[in-house]
Amino acid sequence: MSLADGAAPAADLPKDRIRDAATIILIDRDRADGPAVLMGMRGSAAAFMPSKYVFPGGAVDPGDAATPCPDALSDTCRARLAVEPLTGVGADALARAALREMVEETGLSVSPSADDPLLFVFRAITPPGRPRRFDARFFLIDARNITGDPNDFSAACDELSHLHWVPLAQARELDLPFITEVVLAEVAALVARTQGPLAQPETVPFFDNRGDEPRFVQLS
């Protein structure tokens, strides 16, 4: 998670501010041992989810809105990203943040296209009382869209350790945040019912914890 263009360090932000964030779930469905997802472990000193296995991702930076991503998202995906906004963040900024974080945290570059775009599959807002709060959008994309060697993490920063492809059937055995377990279950169900190319699901689960009472809805 980087700071760019004068973005305030997290320590200087209001304690309960909810920041826009984006995550990419890379899935390799061509492995002989079954589908696998790319995950890494956060450091033990991290303020947010220390020592937990997570997908690459992070907060939206101000500069992410400067570069449009016309082919990264479908019209349906863009419409769902605009539902119940907390801020004025745009769909392109979310997509760019997810792609940038992937490069920073794994060293891998992903190139979505109009034929194989990022799929918006989950949204979750961190509950009150946590040291950091995010309005996180989770995107899914096939590992075939990686440019280069999918096992070369040599250019990754040190934010995630133990980067590796985890068999989808075994991923929930890792030490995971609760919301990551829920997202993995959604992804596993989507993959199980998909024979051909991945497609945008009919609805997107949304864990809305912005207030005192948690709320769960399906975005359509």
24 in any annotated domain: yes
> Please, how many CA atoms are within 13 Å of residue 5, restricted to the half-sphere of its CB?
7
Give the 3-state secondary structure of residue 52.
coil
Q: Is residue 3 part of a domain?
A: no
Flag whether 10 is in a domain. no
The number of folded domains in the chain is: 1
pLDDT (average), residues 77-86: 95
Residue 30, domain member (yes or no): yes
Q: Is residue 109 part of a domain?
A: yes
Residue 1, domain member (yes or no): no
Partners of residue 164 on adjacent β-strands = 39
For residue 76, being part of any structural domain is answered with yes
Question: Given a cut of 50, is residue 7 above it in pLDDT?
Answer: no
Q: How far apart are CA 157 and CA 154, in angstroms?
A: 9
pLDDT of residue 45: 64
Per-residue burial over 128-153, b if 16 or more Cβ lie within 10 Å, else e, is eeeebbbbbbbbbbbbebbeeebeeb
Q: Is 4 within a domain?
A: no
pLDDT at 2 over 50: no
Mean of the per-residue pLDDT values for the chain?
90
Q: Is 57 left (phi over 0), alpha (psi -120 to 50) or beta?
A: left
Query: Which long-range contacts link 48-52 to residues 24+ away (Cβ below 8 Å)?
Result: 48/130, 48/131, 48/132, 48/134, 49/177, 51/175, 52/175, 52/176, 52/177, 52/180
Q: Is the pLDDT confidence value at 114 over 90? A: yes
Distance, in Å, from the CA atom of 35 to the CA atom of 25, rounded to the nearest integer, reads 12
Contacts with 149 (C-beta within 8 Å, 6 or more apart), sequence order: none
Range of the domain at 102: 15-219
Mean pLDDT of 63-69: 91
> What's the CATH code of the domain at 133?
3.90.79.10
Entry pTM: 0.91
